[in-house]
Amino acid sequence: MCTRFLGIVALTCFASFTLAEEPTKKPSSTAAGAVPARRPTAKAKGEISFDDLKFDIEKGEAYDPSKLTETIKALDGKQVHLRGFILPSTLFRETDINEFVLVRDNLECCFGPGAALYDCVVVNLVDKVTTDYTTRAVTVTGVLKLKEYKYPDDSGHFAIFNLQGTEVR
């Protein structure tokens, strides 16, 4: 046990010494709005963000499927990992949750009338998977689907994305 601990300390000291001797690298500059270099690799593994769901529609504007980008259409039916926050106002309980709305941030402005349709995803957990409410960000893994959710009075859409979740972490 002591040998293992000393080995870790020695390795840590060596790594610190080696890193200190290397010249400091400045981060490369990117154009405003440019996607970081690691992003395509993450996308290839199914890691998406709410930015990948964004399309040209104003908040409160009527939904027009023709405005969806080819990138969004290509995500339909694909296995993805999406990070966001559980919207508390869509819950009926705090434990053993199997359905909720995942939003871009933890403010309650991203769902309902006047919200951007690309800032929320309706999550249905499948295969007896459940989760508990948390105020922290979660990552939901599952199959993303384009699915229109309309208000009961047919006054418009409140969501257009569905995630058939198989894991929440």
Query: 3-31, pLDDT tens digit by residue?
Result: 332 333 333 333 333 333 333 333 343 34
Nearest Cα to 131, choosing from 101, 89, 162, 161?
A: 101
**pLDDT above 90 for 128:** yes
Per-residue confidence (pLDDT) for residue 45, from 0 to 100:
84
State pLDDT tens for residues 65-106.
999 999 999 999 999 999 999 999 889 999 999 999 999 987
Per-residue confidence (pLDDT) for residue 114, from 0 to 100:
56
Instruction: List domains and CATH numbers for the chain.
Output: 46-168 (2.40.50.870)
Cα dihedral: 84, 43, 28, 25 (round 10): 90
| SS3 label, residue 93 | coil
